[in-house]
Amino acid sequence: MTIIETILANPYVENTIAILARTNKAECSRYSKTIAIDNWRIAYENRREFVKALNAINEAQDQFTFEFSGDEFRPDLVITSRKLKATYDAIPKTKTMRNVLEKVYKDFGITTDIGFHVDLDEKITDEEYENQLKLYSAMSGIFQDKFD
């Protein structure tokens, strides 16, 4: 089997492609999935050939993008639906995670280290902003119930 055939025949890759293919446009914010590949021998024995294989897959089809991500110790394969990403990119984005964290601190007094893990200035949709606020609001309520 070639590297390309090995990648495409992997059950995790097949499952991810199936999930992304059946995701509707209303859920377009879930346009990509990440697969941990630190136990894939083909990914670390010859990384250069693995990346070439991903590039060949990307050139051969136009529905998904396959990208190598992560580092030496935690390599990942990110599969992105081009159709869902295009739909998501077309949605107006007026807020950022920085706005979320400022609001959460102001309203609930919650501080978090999430700023070290995400791009604080990346634009998010109003729906994502509201969902983040709901999450932190629920967390605040849980902590108050447990510790008051």
pLDDT in tens, 49-86: 999 999 999 999 999 999 998 877 788 999 999 999 99
Mean pLDDT along residues 18-43? 90
Cα–Cα distance measured from residue 17 to residue 92, given in angstroms and rounded to the nearest whole number? 27
The answer, yes or no, to whether residue 148 has pLDDT greater than 70, is no
Using alpha carbons, list the distances in angstroms from residue 71 to 5, 28, 74.
Answer: 24, 27, 5
Q: Which residue carries 């992105």 as its tokens?
A: 80
**Angle between the 126-147 and 97-108 helix axes, to the nearest 10 degrees?**
30
Average confidence (pLDDT) over 113-139: 89
